[in-house]
Amino acid sequence: MRRMVFFLMACCILLALESGAQGAVRFHSITQIGFLYGDTEKLPLLQSVNGIRYKRSSAGIGLGLDYYFTRSSTLFVHLQQDVLSGSSSPFFYAAIGSAMPVEKKVENELSRSEYERGLYYDLGIGYRCAVGEKLSLHFNLGYTRKEVHETRWSRFNFPQDEAQYFDYSFRRISFKLGLGWND
């Protein structure tokens, strides 16, 4: 995972250095709010992506917060490709990274649980609509997956040191509304 993130960041830097003389590489930022729709719940999410934009492509590093099952923060690499070259365009996007539970340890009268990070990815389509020279609205519809690993010790297990292991995989539909800014 770390190698892939490093590789994608290196590609972004090389792209910026190669085209920097032309002045076409610009800073790009998107702040998004939205909802995750799963089997039983509809819960909010927040995301912020910052990176570079070159012609119809953008790449950046993102940080998010979602409340599905357990509240977790996500750290990811985000790639976006516009279909058209105008100020408004449909686009495709992909993000991959890590979902890290905010509360690592949870304890109650019956059990104690420890949560570990897992894979996070988001694939989808959207539409970018210009709202001035540097601002744009983004509407996204995607498929997202978050994995969380739990180790649970029950107060009623004998011996007490025996742990149970659970691997959760949450597949959700996401709808996001965002505000983009290009320098």
pLDDT 10s digits, 77-119: 999 999 988 888 999 999 999 999 988 888 888 888 898 999 9
Torsion sign (Cα): 47, 1, 96, 29: positive
Collapse the DSSP code of 18 into the 3-class scheme (helix H, G, I; strand E, B; otherwise coil) and give the result: helix
Q: What is the pLDDT of residues 8-45, one digit of tens each?
A: 555 555 554 454 445 588 898 999 999 999 887 888 99
- Tell which wins on pLDDT, 183 or 39: 39
DSSP output for 57-112 = EEEEEEEEEE-SSS-EEEEEEEEEEESSSSSSEEEEEEEEEEEEES-SEEE-SSEE
69 backbone dihedrals φ, ψ, rounded to 5°: 65, -70
pLDDT-based confidence at residue 74 (cuts at 50, 70, 90) = very high
Q: What is the pLDDT of residues 37-68, one digit of tens each?
A: 988 788 899 999 999 988 889 999 999 998 88
Distance in angstroms between the alpha carbons of the first and the last residue of the chain: 30
- The whole-angstrom separation of Cα 97 and Cα 138 is 21
Instruction: Provide the phi-psi class of 134: left if phi over 0, else alpha when psi is between -120 and 50, else beta.
Output: alpha
Read off the pLDDT of each residue in 132-153 and give the average, rounded to a whole number.
91
Q: 42-54 and 25-37: which strand pairing? A: antiparallel
- The whole-angstrom separation of Cα 77 and Cα 178 is 17
Q: What is the pLDDT of residue 20?
A: 47
Q: Give yes or no for residue 125 having a pLDDT over 80.
A: yes
Contact 44, 34 (CB under 8 A): yes
Q: What is the pLDDT of residue 69?
A: 79
Q: What is the pLDDT of residue 21?
A: 44
